[in-house]
Each structure stands twice: as C-alpha cells, then as structure tokens.
C-alpha cells in the first residue's frame, strides 16, 4: 500500500459521504461496504495485532490523514456542494 495523501483521504471520505461523520459505528452497512472497496483499491491491510475490523481501521486512517489545518473549510465546502448543509 502506498501512502495516502491528505487530499486523497478527503476525496475518499467525500466519495462515501463521511466527511461529517466521525463515528464509525453510525455508518450504514452500504457505506462500510464502499469503504472496504476503497480499502481494497489501495491494498490496505489492517495491523497484525488489530482488535477491530479492517473497515474500522481504514476509516480511522482516512480520518487521521484528512485532518490537516485546512480540513474543516474544505469539508464544509464539500458538504455544501453535495447538499449536506
């Protein structure tokens, strides 16, 4: 797996509509399936000693990578553009 840039992480989160939802456990099953498809596309593997699902760990990775000092204005702009706000 190559390193995911903050821009790529934001794009992946926006594609599944999760820029505004920090809690993995509130995601729908369809969203989790889409998240797993994205994880497959970048050949993501969860840590060997992980206690959770691969989808949960990939989602946490995307949130960590996407959070930079410009994250919130970009997220707000994308949410407005996609009709979430």
In this structure, the number of other CB atoms found within 10 A of the CB of residue 34 comes to 18
Model confidence at 1: pLDDT above 90: no
Asked, for residue 18, whether it belongs to a domain, the answer is: yes
- For residues 66 and 13, the answer to whether their CB atoms sit within 8 Å is yes
Asked, for residue 36, whether it belongs to a domain, the answer is: yes
Q: How many domains does the chain have?
A: 1
Question: What are the tens digits of pLDDT across the range 23-81?
Answer: 888 888 998 999 999 999 999 998 888 888 899 999 888 888 887 544 456 666 666 77
> How would you classify residue 83: left for phi > 0, otherwise alpha for psi between -120 and 50, otherwise beta?
left
Q: How many CA atoms lie within 13 A of 8 on its CB side?
A: 9
Q: What is the pLDDT of residue 43?
A: 92
Asked, for residue 55, whether it belongs to a domain, the answer is: yes
Could you tell me the residue range of the domain that residue 58 belongs to? 6-81
Asked, for residue 64, whether it belongs to a domain, the answer is: yes
Asked, for residue 53, whether it belongs to a domain, the answer is: yes
pTM beyond cutoff 0.75: no
Asked, for residue 61, whether it belongs to a domain, the answer is: yes
């Amino acid at each position: 797996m190559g390193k995911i840039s903050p821009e790529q992480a934001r794009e992946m989160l926006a594609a599944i509509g999760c820029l505004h939802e920090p809690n993995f456990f509130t995601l729908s099953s369809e969203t989790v399936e889409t998240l797993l498809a994205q994880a497959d596309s970048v050949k993501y593997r969860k840590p060997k000693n992980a206690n959770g699902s691969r989808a949960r760990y990939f989602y946490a990775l995307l949130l960590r990578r996407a959070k930079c000092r410009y994250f919130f204005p970009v997220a707000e702009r994308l949410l407005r553009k996609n009709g979430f706000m």
